[in-house]
């Protein structure tokens, strides 16, 4: 066995052509955000209660008990350290374990803040903020997910008692999937069909107590439990996703969330003067969070794959010299570097979405709804695109790590198992892209009527130019010009949208036409969303970025992101005439050259994520690059290695080896 080298990453870091500390601040968003995140990460990493390397070894009951222990300890530390709401959120994120508290803070509290009246917020939020109640968000049912209007749970008003009767009339009306519901939550925001008399008045949220505050036993009329094991070991099985059924459970009338609409004591349905569109503000917030989470998950996987690709050597040894670093192979770069660029791209579009949420909220309060449909579609599309790419990207990073990437200790199988449900929760990704397509088709259909496109669809206002313009690229270096990249992506998105709109206009029935063309329309929506991300990356480059070489690296990553997309989707660009075959070839030449520029900076670019080894949770992605000794060490921690002779040897294996199966206790 040859000498194990551990200095590869130190060598790599010396090659960096930019100020890594400055890039860390760019990644974090600000010096304040960096300092806060760095401090929270280190506090969590240094606390032995938050160890996570043994999750795959634990049985389900022990796993969930351990999660409750961590959640309680985290809350204790948050109180002791007197953390702000922002600090507490980062602290919980670095604990890095799906838990019932995620839904309490991420869905239950925002639902009350967004849909509850001032009086309801004054009653319920103090309890929630102090964790005196634990809440979840019970919307999805066994039979309905994306189609919220199809939910079957009922809330029937009883004017005699001034109460709502919550009921699950069918098996498929069972609430199914809400995190925290299975075992932990004391309360839920339950979405149900509001029935007054015999009339249906839409789906509304109701605060329902599920369990006794004395002994945690389910209350009368409530059947509740966990839905069972999910994909992967450890992973999302730390979360108690639940099933819930109601048998005529009565709640007070004032437990209906009534900020937007109310039911009076007499049983009349009344719309408040608060615009119903405010509900969309919460949706924009949640989806913005999901996009930010996508950048974090993808960057973790890319960090592991990049560091390990620099440590791992295979083939190419000459005259007894070292083998070639895997990261130096063009095939590895072609798969890895676009994902590295995507992590940065998603980070910056996530920052922009935070601004969009603030803008939408201010407009809603001023009763300006003009940008709402586009903002809603934009966040839906970006949620869909970023989560799909991230889920696929994590799996690609696992494969980039070869066989060792399949080990639990690589961190990648569990990261994938935890992340992949994001492709379906908060909206199925294909359903969401079709929502984007509807907005795009409506926008195109109104172009001739004087209605100006707004927000991320504003480029469609230049439809005449974009339908006719010719790409001006003549040499490979031309593809480094942001204006050329921007116009190519705008032309492609415009021409795809117009072509689909023209096909739709020939259909006798618009809804049937939409269903028939749905696969094409998803591609139209994806082109639009890719344009948004490219545009926001280019806008980031126009901001004040400080630090030696930082802007140059961001320019390289922006170009890698855009040109790798152009290469991957060149069929669209060519079919729409947005570029020529020669220009596509030049883009590919330039992309290869960009990989050469990324190569010496790759490890430093993932160091800029500033993740602790605890948070990465990967032997392959260790900061010190000391991979092989640690892999060997981890192997011996497996319970199978507690003894040389396995349990069951005498009962099963020995009789087989000794040809005495007739004596085996089978």
**pLDDT of 5 higher than 70:** no
How many whole angstroms separate alpha carbon 288 and alpha carbon 283? 8
pTM, to two decimals:
0.94
In degrees, to the nearest 5, what angle opens at C-alpha 193 toward C-alphas 191 and 197? 140
The separation between CA 545 and the C-alpha centre of its own chain, rounded to angstroms, equals 27
Place of tokens 């190419």: 316
**What are the φ and ψ backbone dihedral angles of 596, each rounded to 5 degrees?**
-60, -35
Contact 412, 394 (CB under 8 A): yes
**pLDDT of 666 higher than 90:** no
How many whole angstroms separate alpha carbon 119 and alpha carbon 135? 18
Model confidence pLDDT, tens digit, residues 122-166: 999 999 999 999 999 999 999 987 778 889 999 999 999 999 999
The reply to whether 182 sits in an annotated binding site is no
For the chain, domain boundaries:
109-274, 279-451+473-607
- The token duo for 577 is 């005439």
Helix 31-45 with 20-28: angle, nearest 10 deg = 90
**pLDDT of 358 higher than 90:** no
Average pLDDT over residues 91-119: 94
DSSP codes of every residue in 498-518: HHHHHHHHTSSSHHHHHHHTH
Domains 109-274 and 279-451+473-607 share a fold: no
**Positive/negative CA dihedral, 351, 352, 358, 364:** negative
- The token duo for 165 is 């009767």
**pLDDT of 4 higher than 90:** no
Residues 6+ apart with CB under 8 A from 516: 507
**pLDDT of 3 higher than 70:** no
**pLDDT of 235 higher than 90:** no
- The token duo for 660 is 């005495």
Average pLDDT over residues 625-653: 93
3-state secondary structure of 460: helix
User: SS3 for 313-335, per residue?
Assistant: ECCCCCCCCCCCEHHHCHHHHHH
Catalytically annotated residues: 426
- The token duo for 536 is 């926001």
What's the CATH code, domain 279-451+473-607?
A: 1.20.140.10
What's the CATH code, domain 109-274?
A: 2.40.110.10
Half-sphere CA count of 304, side-chain side, radius 13 A: 34
**Residue 359 has what pLDDT?**
87
How many whole angstroms separate alpha carbon 606 and alpha carbon 277? 40
The reply to whether 390 sits in an annotated binding site is no
- The token duo for 261 is 């609409």
3-state secondary structure of 244: strand
Q: What is the dihedral of CA 92, 96, 100, 106, to 10 degrees?
A: 60
How many whole angstroms separate alpha carbon 610 and alpha carbon 299? 10
**Residue 524 has what pLDDT?**
98
**pLDDT of 273 higher than 80:** no
Pairing of strands 135-138, 187-196: parallel
Q: Could you give the C-alpha distances from 179 to 64, 67, 297, 493, in angstroms and in order?
A: 13, 13, 20, 37
How many whole angstroms separate alpha carbon 569 and alpha carbon 559? 15
Pairing of strands 269-271, 163-167: unpaired
Place of tokens 């006798």: 508
Model confidence pLDDT, tens digit, residues 281-299: 777 888 899 999 999 999 9
Which of 417, 351, 423 lies closest to 387, judged by CA? 423
Model confidence pLDDT, tens digit, residues 191-209: 999 999 989 999 999 999 9
Half-sphere CA count of 333, side-chain side, radius 13 A: 20
**Residue 226 has what pLDDT?**
97
- The token duo for 52 is 């996570």
């Amino acid at each position: 066995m040859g000498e194990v080298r551990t200095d590869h990453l130190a060598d790599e870091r010396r090659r960096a052509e930019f100020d890594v500390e400055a890039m860390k601040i760019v990644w974090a968003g600000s010096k304040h955000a960096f300092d806060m995140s760095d401090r929270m990460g280190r506090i969590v990493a240094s606390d032995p209660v938050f160890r996570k390397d043994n999750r795959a070894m634990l049985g389900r009951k022990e796993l969930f008990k351990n999660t409750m222990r961590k959640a309680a300890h985290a809350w204790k530390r948050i109180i002791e350290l007197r953390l702000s709401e922002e600090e507490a959120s980062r602290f919980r994120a670095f604990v890095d374990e799906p838990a019932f508290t995620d839904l309490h803070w991420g869905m239950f509290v925002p639902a009350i803040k967004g849909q509850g009246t001032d009086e309801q917020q004054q009653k319920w939020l103090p309890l929630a903020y102090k964790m005196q109640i634990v809440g979840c968000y019970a919307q999805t049912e066994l039979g309905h997910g994306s189609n919220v209007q199809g939910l079957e749970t009922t809330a029937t008003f009883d004017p005699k008692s001034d109460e709502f009767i919550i009921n699950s009339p069918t098996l498929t009306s069972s609430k199914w999937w809400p995190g925290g519901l299975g075992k932990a939550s004391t309360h839920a925001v339950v979405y149900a069909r509001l029935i007054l008399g015999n009339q249906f008045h839409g789906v509304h949220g109701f605060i329902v107590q599920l369990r006794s505050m004395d002994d945690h036993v389910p209350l009368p009329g409530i059947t509740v439990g966990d839905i069972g094991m999910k994909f992967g070991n450890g992973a999302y099985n730390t979360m108690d996703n639940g099933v819930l059924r109601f048998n005529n459970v009565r709640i007070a009338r004032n437990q209906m969330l009534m900020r937007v609409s109310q039911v009076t004591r007499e049983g009349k349905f009344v719309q408040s003067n608060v615009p119903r569109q405010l509900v969309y503000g919460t949706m924009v917030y949640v989806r913005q969070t999901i996009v930010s989470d996508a950048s974090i998950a993808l960057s973790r996987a890319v960090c592991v794959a990049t560091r390990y690709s620099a440590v791992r050597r295979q083939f190419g040894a000459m005259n007894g010299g070292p083998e070639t670093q895997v990261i130096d192979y063009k095939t590895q770069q072609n798969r890895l570097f676009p994902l590295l660029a995507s992590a940065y791209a998603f980070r910056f579009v996530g920052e922009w979405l935070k601004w969009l949420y603030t803008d939408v909220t201010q407009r809603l309060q001023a009763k300006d709804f003009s940008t709402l449909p586009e903002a809603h579609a934009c966040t839906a599309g970006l949620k869909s695109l970023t989560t799909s790419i991230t889920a696929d990207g994590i799996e690609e990073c696992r494969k980039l790590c070869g066989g060792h990437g399949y080990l639990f200790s690589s961190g990648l199988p569990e990261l994938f198992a935890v992340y992949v449900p994001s492709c379906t929760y908060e909206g199925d990704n294909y359903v969401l892209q079709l929502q984007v397509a509807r907005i795009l088709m409506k926008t195109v259909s109104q172009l001739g009527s004087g209605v100006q496109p707004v927000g991320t669809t504003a480029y469609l206002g230049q439809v005449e130019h974009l339908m006719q313009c010719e790409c001006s690229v003549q040499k490979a270096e031309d593809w480094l010009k942001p204006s050329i990249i921007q116009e190519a992506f705008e032309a492609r998105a415009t021409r795809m949208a117009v072509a689909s709109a023209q096909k739709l206009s020939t259909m006798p029935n618009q809804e049937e036409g939409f269903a028939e063309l749905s696969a094409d329309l998803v591609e139209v929506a994806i082109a639009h969303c890719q344009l948004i991300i490219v545009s926001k990356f280019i806008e980031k480059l126009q901001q004040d970025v400080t630090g030696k070489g930082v802007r140059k690296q961001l320019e390289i990553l922006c170009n890698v992101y855009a040109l790798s997309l152009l290469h991957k989707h060149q069929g669209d660009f060519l079919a729409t005439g947005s570029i020529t075959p020669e220009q596509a070839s030049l883009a590919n030449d330039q992309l290869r050259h960009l990989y050469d520029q990324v190569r010496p900076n790759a490890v430093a670019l993932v160091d800029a994520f500033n993740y602790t080894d605890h948070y990465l949770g990967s032997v392959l992605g260790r900061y010190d690059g000391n991979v092989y000794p640690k892999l060997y060490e981890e192997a011996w921690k497996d319970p199978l290695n507690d003894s040389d002779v396995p349990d069951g040897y005498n009962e099963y294996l020995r009789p087989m080896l000794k040809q005495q199966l007739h004596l085996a206790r089978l």
